[in-house]
Chains A and B, each alone.
Chain A
Amino acid sequence: MTFLGTFMLWAALLLGCWTAAVGLFGNWQNRPVLATAVTRGSFAVCAALLVASAALWKGILGHDFNIEYVASYTSRNLPTYYLVSAFWAGQKGSLLFWAVILSIFGALAQALTSSRHKMLLPYVAAVVNLVIAFFVAVMLFGHASPFERLGFTPADGRGLNPQLQNPGMVMHPPMLYLGYISITIPFAFAIAALLARRLDAGWIIAMRKWALASWLFLSIGITLGMWWAYVELGWGGVWAWDPVENAPLLAWLTLTAFLHSVMIQEKRGMLKRWNVSLVIGTFLLSIFGTFITRSGAISSVHSFTQSDIGYFFLALLLVAAVVSFTLLYTRWPMLEAEVQLESLLSRESAFLFNNLALVGIAFSVLWGTLFPILSEAVRGTKITVGPAFFNRVNIPLGLFLLALTGIGPLIAWRKASAANLRRQFILPVAGSMVTAGALFAAGLRDFYAIMALGLGGFVVTTVAQEFYRGVRARISLHGERIPSALVHLVARNRRRYGGYIVHVGIVIYFVAFTGLAFQVKTEAVLSPGETATLRSPFGHTYQLTHLGVSQYERQNRQVSAATLQVRRNGKLIGTVESERRQYVDSFGNPTFEPSTVVGIRSDLREDLYVVYAGSPDGTERARFTLMINPLVSWFWIGGAVLVIGGLITMWPGGPQLRTPRRRVVAQAGYAVPLAGVSE
């Protein structure tokens, strides 16, 4: 199997390089036969990598511990679903996973892209296959092949890190990888458009769904990562501003900026240079994220083991940046805007400021992530940039962005009149004031919390107003009932109303983050029968009575489980259990450090979060960390709403996007829309 896997890696490398060369040469020479060969080459690369992946999976599922990767990340007693996830749990396997998924996406891009954009496809294939070839080359030349064999065959493998033995970790890394990897496709279309000098809206239309898919995968991946951190790590939070957590956020922020600014290009033929820059920047940030995860250049609790392959990614980052921006520079005059901005009070301006906020947050996160390196280079002093720094810089920018989330949809395109502003803003501003006032009256005094929730009220009222007006218009025009009008309204303009639902998801995230600021945390040592008391920020009291510790064995671990009986304001509501685990191999030998499994009782208002820290004296007397985490469930609800909105936005079908082929450059009011209509 290792021979087959290695052979297929070499085949993929050679085929990838050949396909890239033919793609570039064939389009340059305008030879359609070569373009066909490029498509077939993309499929062949995909097939080779699928066979290589199957070979690795066979080794993993067959417990072939002579393969170094299999021995390092699996064991005989590892449950099957974690055997499957072991494919991407380690550095080497994840490189193969990246390459094979990119090859699938590349093949899909060749197969699914409309023939209207076929001029771009050879270049797209060239870019995608160059990236695939890079990943395969890292495996083959960077001592990172998952098919390396050991000089002996151990009786059992080391097993999977306990923190990775969590369903969140089965789904979180592939989702994040899918997001990172699929960014290559929009990037490839952007580079193809630059190479082919076809810089009309065609490449935007061809890659828009890929960009949306990347954004959706990244959103799901980030949310699952938060969920994993919350249920697995035992610190009661979801986001610690760790460099590896920051990396996908950077790409998500610039991609979000792109999804907004691309609307201006579609509607008004503006911001072409900016959009190309954002796509290039997003790809570079995805490679940057890969670099910091794999190089060990920046200390992180999440990164893979430190290795030299990070510097391959640094090289890719530099080469891709130089080539992309040089290409952009040479095509600069061809990316002239078709019309110019007319007013500060316009939706275009709101989107521009929205882009400024998103890219500003991305910059501040990048700046904070890299500042320790900068400080060491300039002053020779190592420093730490922790959550306090990121919160101080990003909370004001985040609130600004939240305000723009509500303002953008309310302002008219081109230029808003005073009457338009009055009509649009009265209700949302009232909604914001009522929310903030009610919270203040309820005793909330935290400035940022009131701001966040007040602005959340503003955005939600904006969205509700938009839905209400749309539904009312449909009822008036078509005589539909409310549910039918609502469905048709969304179906007729999925991008717009799907986007509004995404905005609601973002507001819910803000609400959840605000709630976490009111976390209650304490430690207690309890003997069986003793009770600890916690007071919730919502006013009620929990009494937690220690029932005892039980010990037992499971498939691949020994467990000590402590159980607490939970009463709320004296009323029994159930129990919560937290565990200490020692993972063992199939011979009963410990494999990793002992780990903790938190106990969570969750409702819409708050989570009761219990961590069993162990026994101070070898008896059932147990030490606990006890927390109340307000509004945490809303992170997952917000994530679900965001995903639903994203799916609606990218759902196939619906009215076709109509992009004017040519617009009149003159700014005079009548000429601009008439040119579009007359076509």
Chain B
Amino acid sequence: MTDTRREFLRYAAAGLLPAAFVTPRRQAPRLTQRPDSTRVAADTLVAPIGGMSRPLGPLDNDPGVIAIEHRLRCSCGCTLDVYTCRTTDFSCTYSPEMHRLVVAQVQQGATADQILKWFVAQPEYGDKVLMSPPARGFNLAGYLVPGLLVAAVALVLAAWLSARRGRTALAVAEHAGAQPPPDADQLERLRRALDDVES
């Protein structure tokens, strides 16, 4: 989002050209020179936009908690995992709550699998809370069908091509027997044609 037309054009260029050359670098506001800015001299903001943000909890940056939250879907409908949502969408009330539940369980000594199972067992979450369905039962079809299908088609294709090679060789042999050998002019045209095909 932009402040001026010039900045807008620079952003627009960054979308079309390599960002390394034109990606805008946000400069710090020149507080003393900006007439319409209200520099907070003391330490109180006039009105914090979006209300107060959450303070940092003791396990907010814990790799174990983050790993669990990456496997849980935020139930706000954003389609993001809990960790990404709570560190991205600061107006979401669902992901902080789910984060608190994860932290509480971690503090009680639950393992990652136990926490995930606990979420799945809750009626308000269910299987949908997992970012990827567990690889069992019908879900196996989800994981295996694309790979198996591609592998099967590849095998059929390879087998078909091998079979074609045999038939083609036979056709070449029969044709060679029926045709007189090419003369020099034909060979030259052949060479030119092959060059053309190669290019």
- Show the binding face of A for B, using Cβ within 8 Å: 79, 81, 162, 165-168, 170-172, 220, 224, 227, 232-235, 237, 240, 242, 267, 299-301, 340-344, 349, 352-353, 356-357, 360, 363-364, 367-368, 371, 375, 378-379, 381-389, 392-393, 396-397, 412-414, 493, 496, 521-525, 528, 547-554, 558-561, 563, 565, 574-578, 580-582, 593-597, 599-604, 611, 613-623, 625, 632-633, 635-637, 640, 643, 658, 666-671, 673-674, 676-678
Contacts and interface: CB of A to CB of B under 8 A. Distances in A.
B44 A619 contact: yes
A523 B61 contact: yes
Contacts of B49: 558-560, 580-582, 594, 614
12 contacts: A168-B11, A342-B165, A344-B158, A364-B147, A384-B130, A388-B132, A393-B147, A604-B20, A613-B53, A618-B44, A620-B40, A673-B193
Contacts of B197: 267, 413-414, 673
Contact of B87 (A547, A595, A611): A611
Contacts of A548: 31, 39-40
Nearest to A339: B168
Contacts of B196: 658, 677
Given A301-B79, A343-B161, A614 B29 contact: no
Nearest to B146: A364
B175 A671 contact: yes
B56 A523 contact: yes
B126 interface: yes
B113 interface: no
A235 B88 contact: yes
B80 A235 contact: yes
A677 to B, nearest CB: 4
A575 B27 CA distance: 6
B48 A597 contact: no
Nearest to A557: B1
Nearest to A81: B8
B149 to A, nearest CB: 7
Interface string B66-80: 000001010001111
A549 B150 contact: no
B122 interface: no
A360 B150 contact: yes
A636 B161 contact: no
Contacts of A576: 25-26, 28
A553 B90 contact: no
A677 B190 contact: yes
Interface string B85-100: 0011111000000000
Contacts of A617: 52, 55
Nearest to B191: A673
Residue among B23, B52, B79, B199 having the largest count of chain A Cβ atoms under 10 Å: B79
A345 to B, nearest CB: 9
B142 interface: yes
Contacts of B15: 167-168, 171-172, 224, 227, 636
Contact of A382 (B84, B128, B198): B128
Contacts of A671: 175, 179
B37 interface: yes
Contact of B142 (A79, A375, A577): A375
Contact of A614 (B52, B128, B131): B52
A388 B164 contact: no
B194 A673 contact: yes
Given A550-B38, A558-B49, 5 more contacts: A165-B1, A528-B43, A550-B31, A614-B52, A621-B43
Contacts of A559: 49
A235 B189 CA distance: 61
Contacts of B193: 673-674, 676-677
A633 B18 contact: yes
Contacts of A235: 80, 84, 87-88
A220 B15 CA distance: 9
A636 to B, nearest CB: 4
